[in-house]
Structures are given as structure tokens and as C-alpha cells.
A and B are shown apart, each in its own frame.
Chain A
Amino acid sequence: MNKWKRLMLSGVLSGMMVFVAACGGGNKAGGNDAEGESASELSGEVIMDGSSTVYPIAEAAAEEYMAEQPNVKVSVGMSGTGGGFEKFSKGESDFSNASRPIKEEEKQAAAANDIEFQEFQLAYDGLSVVVNKENDWVDYLTVDELKKMWTEDGKEKKWSDIRSGWPDEEIQFFSPGHDSGTYDYFDEVILEGKEMVKTAQLSEDDNILVRGVEGDRYAIGYFGYAYYLENKDKLKIVPIDAGNGPIEPTNETIETGKYTPLSRPLFTYVNVKSLKEKPQVYDYMEFLLETAGDLAEEVGYVRLPEEKYKEQLETLQGLK
């Protein structure tokens, strides 16, 4: 009886193993040695990690690139901007995506491990300030009004405090969480380092913010442009006045920089040593700069002006 049990157990286990092995083996057949075949066929690994905001662009690029170079294994992670830099500065990744520029201490961490890097911009994102669809009083907000609204001052925030004539109702705030680059950016340009209102509801998932603003007449929130684009019919966008009249975020106003101060560039940082030593990393970077504009628009971001991509391609060639 003991034998029968053991047989059963090993049967189940080996069955599982065969399944895994069969599924895993298929891809290997292409072979990793592209040498000698044709010069343009590359192989090896490209490791990309970092911001979840930049992830959709990176994913799109990786998908397209692997259609062109099937033997290059591109992997893209989403540890967040900070988490990405932490690994990047230890030489564990070739690329680190970021939704804000690298911080001084992150630079020092990279320098301590002799990691040389180069910054590239891939696209723009326009932080979109939105209110409820039934909100019929807000026509636009100035940067100062935004500041007044979102900074903590110990008092209850009412719409009537912001501009007279607006309803005497408490404002409900919805903001991305502290770990996101989106929060960092808003903190920098609007709050200027001051504390955000304590009553703000934070969420790392922008879809939750969309639902929050959608469900409350007196709500206000902000998040990435892509989330506004997808929910245009459910939300009302607030044009922002930074001194030159109210500007609404659109592909055009973001690309030309008219939508300030809430447009921000999205970055990728590349390890210069990888760039020089691994031809597939160089090739992938080139591919990124050539395709990022189109791919960014496809996933809901805004392309950079064409000359910016050209300039950056020249910078890249200088690094070879």
C-alpha cells in the first residue's frame, strides 16, 4: 500500500514537471547564437524597470521591438520610479524609467557604484485637474487658487473660500499616493513643498480617483492625462490659468508647453556602460527614441516635438 501511494505522488509531480518543461522549451529553439547569420540580428537581454506611469510606453516599445528582434529578451518591470533607481544605481538594470528627474541622492548612489547614466525624455504627460460632471460653477482655476485649495492650513476647505459665489460646501480631495511620481510632481509645482490637505483621499490606483471624483458633486482630483482621456464623458476638466489665460490640457497644448505648470516629461535613464558594451541595449534605445512618439500617443500620453527626438538621437550617437 505504501508503494501505491508513493507511485501516485511521484506520478502527479512528474506530470506537472513534464507540463512545465514542455511549455518552457518552445522558445529556446530559435537559438541564442545569432552571430555569423546576419549583422543586424541581435540577442541577449535588455532589463528595464521603474515608473509604472512610463510602463505602458515601455511595454509598447518592448512588444514592437521583440517583433523586430525576436532573439533579444526585453523585460519591463514596474517597481516605481524610486524602486527603479534603487536597482539601477546598483547596476541591476539597463534602463530605469522615471516620471520625475533623478534626485540628488539617487545620483550619488549611482556614482558610488561607478554607474554612469544618460537621461532621455520619451514623452509628456499632462496632469489633469478634474471635477464632477455636475459641477457647474468651476470654469477654470488659477495656479494660486489650486495652491490655496490643496495646501493644508488647519481650516475646513469650502468651495466658497476659493472664489465668492461658489457653493458653501466642503471640497472633497482625491490625489495619487505619496509613492507616485505624479504626487511628487504636483507637490513640487503646486504645493511647493507644503503639506497637502489632510482630508485628501490618496490612492495608488488612478482608476479609484476617477471613481471618487465621479461619485461626489463637490470633489476635485488630479491624475495623469491618459486617465482623463479615457473618462472624458464622466468627468469635467478644469482649465488652468498660469497667468496667460485658462488653458485646457490637450495633445497640442501639452506638446507645445502652453499647458503649464502641470505638463511633465517622462524619462528613461540608461546605463552608459550597457549602452557601450551591449549592442542590443544601444539598438533598443535607438528604437525607443524613434518610436516613442507614436507609441506614447497610442497609450494616452503626448509626443515630444519632433526635433527633441532628433536631438536626443544625436546625443545617443555621441555616446556609442
Chain B
Amino acid sequence: MDKLLVSKRMKGRLVQNAILQAIFFFATVLGLIALMLLLSHVVMQAIGWLDGDFLNNFPSRRPEEAGMKSGLIGSLWLMMIVAPVSFILGVGTAIYLEEYALKNRFTAFIQTNISNLTGVPSIVFGLLGLTIFVRELGLGRSVLAAGLTMSLLVFPVIVVAAQEAIRAVPQQLREASYAMGATKWQTICRVVLPAALPGMLTGAILALSRAVGETAPLVVLGIPTFIAYLPSGVLDTFTVMPLQIYNWTGRPQEEFQHVAAAGIVVLLGFLIMMNSVAVLIRNKFQKRF
């Protein structure tokens, strides 16, 4: 009797399985196709426009002469601030919350707030940065002001990822360390952090990728779009790649759409390079346990 029931239902289950598999496969392929279409469209448009001059020229009203030098170098400068500041802030917060903080209401309150911060629209961070860094602290429209604003914007992402990574470190490792007579700090610094680093770096990759592509908060800060010189310090004004692309896509001349496409390709390349550095470091640290 049992066997009969099983064989009766088997067919339905197999069909169900096949349908679900098809749906999931479709979901994967759909995303991929959309991405491929977008990429190939952008790359096709960029062909012929993306050359050495494009990387070496400053912005211009003439599409043939327009280039991304100030945006590219500006984005690099911005990342030089955002990467260390957001990483140190984020990992510090995660260590405190996971290793030191008591599990009480106050901690829960902080935790909820950090989780909610990830959902705050970026323009709000722009307003915050404008008030605090640009005006109150008098940093002006500088690399530093923008870098700090962007760090605040992306740091919740790093905190959440770093917390997950720290939580994933087996408790036995900590206990073994204590058993060897290590202090709490020694344990965190020599056992927990190295083990959690790959996960933290994944968070950092996501965070920096977001920071490098953001436009809205920088527009609010008043970061200029046309700049035909390079910053020589963190207190100088600068511009970034997304601002250039935003400007070019809005231009009436057809040629600027190609310039924008070339800009997008450069931005993508920049992102990939930045991420591969993080992936390299991550791989170096993986295979801990």
C-alpha cells in the first residue's frame, strides 16, 4: 500500500521539481541576459571613443576632446579616504558589538540603527555631509569632506558583513586561545580577525563598489563636475567619474552618449581592478580553518 502511494505521488513531485528548477534557471538566465545586453550595448557604444586621449584629457564641451582624467584621479583620491576610514570604522564597530558589548537593550538599539542605516537614501547622507563636514568643520568641497561623507554612507554595509564574519568564527578557536593564556585583545587580534578577514573583505568590496558609483550625495555636497586640474591634497576640490557620466548622458548631442558609454566602461574597469585587489588579499587569508 505504501509503495503504491509513493509511486502515485512520485510523478507529481518529479514534475514539481522540474518546474521549480526551470523557474530558478530562468531567474538566473534573465539576470545574466539583462546584464549582457546592457554591457554589450555600452561597450558597442564606447568602441572608438575609449582611447588613451579619453583617459588623458580633461572634460570638454567638444565630445571628441572630452576626457575623464580629473574624474578618474578624483575617484582614486576619494577611495584613498573611503577605503581606510570606512573599513576601520566598520570593523571597529563590528568588533565592539560582537566581542565586547553586553547583550542588553542599548546594544540592540545600536544594532537596529545600524541595520536601518543601510536603507537610508544616499541623498540624506549628502545633506548630513554638507552640514557637518562641508560647513561646520569647514572642510569645503574637498576630497576629505566627500570621503568622510561616503565613508558614513557605506560603513553600515561593512559593519553588517564584518559582524557576520566574526560570528562565523568558531567559539572553540577563541576558547583555545584563552586556554593558552591569551588576553581578550590578543585573541581578537590574532585569532578572530585573521579568521574573519575574508568575510570582512567581501563586505568592503560591496561597500567600496557602492561608494565609487554614487552620484547623489556628491551633487548635494556641491562637488563640481567641470575641473581641469588635479587635486594635490585631501583639502583640494575634485570631481569623480559618476558625475562626469551623469553630465554626459544628459547632454543633447548624440556624440556625448558615446563619451558617456566610454566613461561607464572606464568606471567598470576601475571597479573590477579595485575588487580584484580585495579578492587577492582575501584569497591570501582564506583557508584558515
A residues with a Cβ closer than 8 A to B are: 5, 8-9, 12, 16-17, 19-20, 23-28, 45, 47-49, 52, 55-56, 58-60, 62-63, 66, 73-79, 83, 87, 90, 92-93, 204-207, 224, 226-227, 229-231, 295, 298-300
Q: Is the CB of B277 within 8 A of A75?
A: no
B residues with a Cβ closer than 8 A to A are: 58-61, 73, 76-77, 80, 135, 140-141, 219-220, 222-233, 237, 239, 247, 249-254, 257, 277, 280-281, 284-285
Q: Is the CB of A19 within 8 A of B247?
A: no
| A124: min CB distance to chain B, Å | 16
- A299 with B61, Cβ < 8 A, contacts A5-B284, A17-B80 known: yes
Q: Contacts of B253 on A, CB cut-off 8 Å?
A: 230, 300
A58 to B223, CA, bound (A): 15
Q: 5 new A-B pairs (CB below 8 Å) besides A5-B284, A27-B230?
A: A24-B231, A52-B250, A59-B60, A73-B237, A92-B222
A230 to B223, CA, bound (A): 29
Q: Is the CB of A207 within 8 A of B223?
A: no
Q: Contacts of A230 on B, CB cut-off 8 Å?
A: 252-254
Q: Contacts of B58 on A, CB cut-off 8 Å?
A: 63
Q: Contacts of A226 on B, CB cut-off 8 Å?
A: 252
Q: Which listed residue, A19, A25, A77, A87, touches B225 by the CB 8 Å rule?
A: A77
Q: Which listed residue, B61, B226, B230, touches A75 by the CB 8 Å rule?
A: B226
A20 to B81, CA, bound (A): 12
- A62 with B226, Cβ < 8 A, contacts A12-B281, A298-B61, A299-B61 known: yes
Q: Is the CB of B250 within 8 A of A20?
A: no
Q: Is the CB of A5 within 8 A of B285?
A: yes
- A77 with B224, Cβ < 8 A, contacts A206-B252, A230-B254 known: yes
What is the chain B residue whose CB lies nearest that of A299? B61
A25 to B247, CA, bound (A): 26
A55 to B248, CA, bound (A): 11
Q: Which listed residue, A24, A60, A62, A63, touches B77 by the CB 8 Å rule?
A: A24
Q: Can you pick out 29 interface pairs between chain A and chain B where the beta carbons lie within 8 Å of each other?
A: A8-B281, A8-B284, A16-B80, A20-B76, A20-B77, A24-B77, A24-B233, A27-B230, A28-B232, A55-B225, A55-B247, A59-B60, A59-B61, A63-B58, A63-B61, A66-B228, A73-B237, A75-B226, A77-B219, A78-B247, A79-B220, A83-B219, A92-B141, A204-B250, A207-B252, A227-B252, A231-B252, A295-B61, A299-B61
Q: Is the CB of B222 within 8 A of A79?
A: yes
- A205 with B249, Cβ < 8 A, contacts A23-B73, A77-B225, A79-B219 known: yes
Q: Is the CB of B229 within 8 A of A27?
A: yes
A9 to B83, CA, bound (A): 13
User: What total of A-B pairs shows CB separation below 8 Å?
Assistant: 118
Q: Is the CB of B227 within 8 A of A75?
A: yes
Q: Which listed residue, A19, A48, A87, A207, touches B76 by the CB 8 Å rule?
A: A19
Q: Contacts of A73 on B, CB cut-off 8 Å?
A: 227, 229, 237
Majority SS at the chain A contact face: helix
| A225: min CB distance to chain B, Å | 9
Q: Which 10 A-B pairs have the closest CB atoms?
A: A75-B224, A76-B226, A77-B224, A60-B61, A230-B252, A226-B252, A227-B252, A59-B226, A28-B232, A23-B73
| A42: min CB distance to chain B, Å | 14
A11 to B225, CA, bound (A): 33
Q: Contacts of A12 on B, CB cut-off 8 Å?
A: 277, 280-281
A90 to B61, CA, bound (A): 29
A5 to B195, CA, bound (A): 13
A62 to B140, CA, bound (A): 21
Q: Contacts of B135 on A, CB cut-off 8 Å?
A: 90
- A56 with B61, Cβ < 8 A, contacts A20-B73, A49-B222, A205-B250 known: yes
Q: Which listed residue, A25, A87, A207, touches B222 by the CB 8 Å rule?
A: A87
Q: Contacts of A45 on B, CB cut-off 8 Å?
A: 237
A87 to B59, CA, bound (A): 23
Q: Contacts of A231 on B, CB cut-off 8 Å?
A: 252
Q: Contacts of A59 on B, CB cut-off 8 Å?
A: 59-61, 225-226
Q: Is the CB of B281 within 8 A of A76?
A: no
Q: Which listed residue, A27, A90, A205, touches B232 by the CB 8 Å rule?
A: A27
Q: Contacts of A79 on B, CB cut-off 8 Å?
A: 219-220, 222
What is the chain B residue whose CB lies nearest that of A298? B61
